[in-house]
Chain A
């Protein structure tokens, strides 16, 4: 029983981490129909910015608990600076082009940002582990878990709840939903689609950066850290259905639980398990679990 509980807890923690990253990816696809390969770089930028801000905060001798504010500030800064820069400076010139072209454009952005990160931060690792240990730990089923991991679960729940509420209850959310449903009709009805794109891309960037910033205290922040994340986030959104928020939540939960069970019971297939699930889902539901069938426009 204790072992099963450990599988569930590990699965939930991993799912939460994945959801924070994947929801930004699915948001950008849902609204802008861009399969954003640069999402991994935004995650890495969030981690590097967090490492820099937390490092400066702590080295200045300020209160350690303030480092959590630095993590959030890092994500906001990356979102507000990098998101509009790329959307206004590059992507807006590509709208209307084939989705494959946009994939290639974001892949180019990914490669540029990977090198830009090395130019700004160098190739040495950064460590900011203090926020990870500050909250202490708790014991469940005979295993020790940092409270930080529980906080990660809370953050992902807050992100999910905020999205659900914003989409259903706010005017901006309804406008966003309209653009997701049909961009052309939305524009015809007077919605400023270009503004919606800017806000969406900024928000998506911020979410990826939040994932990176919250991960920074648990890892060594090194070049290339965004590569693995983007592959996993794609698996999640493909399982859930590209552009679906509920799909991103369910996809994260499925990937997290399957991976956790594999690690505990059959570690040899851990790597295979996530992609096996993805393959099974795509065989049964080629558009993912939550993506509605679309009428073909002629």
Chain B
């Protein structure tokens, strides 16, 4: 909070772009509103930011976690029609809890007879998952869901793979694309990987994507992963809004231009379709890992249009999942 207030009140910035953690976004949004400063949340995922509140000065240019969770549920139910048992391991804060709740609800809406063997919620950055892995293995689930990201995600893969979690169950990592870049072939074959939208390995072959890939690789020497795509979305959304508002336009005009807008990005077209034009929707993509010549690749890639994996305007995620997802045996 102190950094945010410093940016706004001392440095007098025109706009704040930032925040990866859902916890940070939930905390910053009301302060942005209080200080009346245009703020673009670029990567956090909790649906609660706009579902539990309404903001005039806050925007989010990436889709929220409902998309990742519902997409994951659709993918694994298609992949495993005989699905009977699921388990989860997610971080114990807004992102992890919301991701698991939406995934479990979506699975049970699609297949009501599915049983949850365990839902593990270790603390963010806890790093040691020995007991959690034993609990996952003990329940013998068909599918293990995890929205882990960054170091926690990689530590989980490194600890769970030798213990047979990936061999016994189909593991779906909704934010797993970053680990693909870092762990490579250490991710076992058959792991279902999400990229929080059509980013990274799932990004379309368009001019903006080619530009981002090259610029990112030239600068950092590694492939761009989904957070970089999310940041590109935020900046390109703002660029579009500033251009539409016109030269020298004030903050209110920029906000009006960004509300409900559509803009092109390396990940395709982004539409600010929810929360009165303040929350983006986008398609999402899942695929399954396969190691080819020592390199991890994705096969069985499925794309889900934005309208299929995001709730409609004015409806909360949980209500939409329970009311709208099609039930099967």
Residues in chain A within 8 A of chain B (CB atoms)? 3, 6-7, 9-11, 13-14, 17, 124-125, 127, 129, 132-133, 137, 143-146, 149, 215, 217-220, 222, 224-225, 227-229, 259-260, 263-264, 267-268, 270-271
With known contacts A17-B128, A125-B151, A127-B182, A218–B134 Cβ distance under 8 A: no
Bound: A133/B163 CA distance, A: 10
Q: Can you report 24 residue pairs joining A to B where beta carbons are below 8 Å apart?
A: A6-B134, A6-B138, A7-B131, A9-B134, A10-B134, A11-B131, A13-B130, A14-B131, A125-B150, A127-B158, A129-B186, A132-B162, A133-B162, A143-B137, A218-B155, A219-B159, A222-B151, A224-B125, A224-B151, A267-B132, A267-B135, A268-B121, A270-B121, A270-B122
Beta-carbon contact of A271 and B123 below 8 Å:
yes
Measured between beta carbons, the chain B residues less than 8 angstroms from A215 are 127-128
- List the B residue with the shortest CB-CB distance to A139: B164
By size class, the interface of chain B is 20 to 34
Beta-carbon contact of A271 and B92 below 8 Å:
yes
Specify which of A9, A144, A149 is in contact with B137 (CB 8 Å cutoff): A144
Specify which of A146, A218, A222 is in contact with B150 (CB 8 Å cutoff): A222
Beta-carbon contact of A145 and B158 below 8 Å:
no
Bound: A117/B158 CA distance, A: 23
- List the B residue with the shortest CB-CB distance to A231: B123
Measured between beta carbons, the chain A residues less than 8 angstroms from B123 are 228, 271
Could you list 20 further interchain pairs (A-B, Cβ under 8 angstroms) beyond the known A225-B125, A267-B120, A271-B122? A6-B134, A7-B131, A124-B222, A132-B162, A137-B162, A137-B163, A144-B163, A219-B127, A219-B151, A219-B155, A220-B150, A222-B151, A225-B127, A225-B151, A228-B125, A264-B134, A267-B132, A268-B119, A268-B121, A271-B121
Bound: A267/B164 CA distance, A: 21
Bound: A216/B132 CA distance, A: 19
Question: Chain A's nearest CB lies how many Å from the CB of B236?
Answer: 25
Question: Chain B's nearest CB lies how many Å from the CB of A47?
Answer: 10
Measured between beta carbons, the chain A residues less than 8 angstroms from B247 are none
* Chain B, 93-148, CB within 8 A of any chain A CB: 118-123, 125-128, 130-132, 134-135, 137-138
Measured between beta carbons, the chain B residues less than 8 angstroms from A228 are 123, 125-127
- DSSP class of A's interface residues: helix, strand, loop or mixed? helix
Beta-carbon contact of B127 and A259 below 8 Å:
no
Question: Chain A's nearest CB lies how many Å from the CB of B141?
Answer: 14
With known contacts A13-B130, A132-B162, A149-B130, A263–B120 Cβ distance under 8 A: yes
- List the B residue with the shortest CB-CB distance to A128: B158
Question: Chain B's nearest CB lies how many Å from the CB of A97?
Answer: 28
With known contacts A14-B130, A17-B128, A264–B158 Cβ distance under 8 A: no
Bound: A254/B138 CA distance, A: 23
Bound: A17/B135 CA distance, A: 19
Bound: A268/B100 CA distance, A: 13
Bound: A230/B122 CA distance, A: 16
Measured between beta carbons, the chain A residues less than 8 angstroms from B119 are 267-268
Beta-carbon contact of A143 and B118 below 8 Å:
no
Which 7 A-B pairs give the minimum distances between C-beta atoms? A220-B154, A10-B131, A222-B151, A263-B131, A219-B155, A220-B151, A260-B131
Bound: A219/B157 CA distance, A: 9
A-B contact count (CB 8 A): 104
Bound: A143/B135 CA distance, A: 10
* Chain B, 169-195, CB within 8 A of any chain A CB: 182-183, 186
Specify which of A11, A145, A217, A259 is in contact with B163 (CB 8 Å cutoff): A145
Question: Chain B's nearest CB lies how many Å from the CB of A16?
Answer: 10
Bound: A10/B158 CA distance, A: 17
Measured between beta carbons, the chain A residues less than 8 angstroms from B159 are 132, 218-219
Measured between beta carbons, the chain B residues less than 8 angstroms from A149 are 130
Beta-carbon contact of B120 and A220 below 8 Å:
no
Bound: A270/B118 CA distance, A: 13
Specify which of B92, B120, B158 is in contact with A129 (CB 8 Å cutoff): B158
* Chain B, 216-230, CB within 8 A of any chain A CB: 222
Measured between beta carbons, the chain A residues less than 8 angstroms from B127 are 215, 219, 225, 228-229
Question: Chain B's nearest CB lies how many Å from the CB of A159?
Answer: 18
Measured between beta carbons, the chain A residues less than 8 angstroms from B126 are 228
Beta-carbon contact of B164 and A218 below 8 Å:
no
Question: Chain A's nearest CB lies how many Å from the CB of B24?
Answer: 14
Question: Chain B's nearest CB lies how many Å from the CB of A20?
Answer: 12
Beta-carbon contact of A264 and B128 below 8 Å:
no
Beta-carbon contact of A263 and B135 below 8 Å:
yes
Beta-carbon contact of B92 and A219 below 8 Å:
no
Question: Chain A's nearest CB lies how many Å from the CB of B243?
Answer: 33
Bound: A3/B139 CA distance, A: 10
- List the A residue with the shortest CB-CB distance to B127: A219
Beta-carbon contact of A218 and B158 below 8 Å:
yes
Measured between beta carbons, the chain B residues less than 8 angstroms from A267 are 118-121, 132, 135
Bound: A132/B137 CA distance, A: 19
Question: Chain B's nearest CB lies how many Å from the CB of A137?
Answer: 6
Beta-carbon contact of A125 and B182 below 8 Å:
yes
Beta-carbon contact of A264 and B135 below 8 Å:
yes
Specify which of B122, B131, B155, B222 is in contact with A264 (CB 8 Å cutoff): B131
Measured between beta carbons, the chain B residues less than 8 angstroms from A10 are 130-131, 134
Measured between beta carbons, the chain B residues less than 8 angstroms from A225 are 125, 127, 151
- List the A residue with the shortest CB-CB distance to B125: A228
Question: Chain B's nearest CB lies how many Å from the CB of A98?
Answer: 27
Measured between beta carbons, the chain A residues less than 8 angstroms from B130 are 10, 13-14, 149
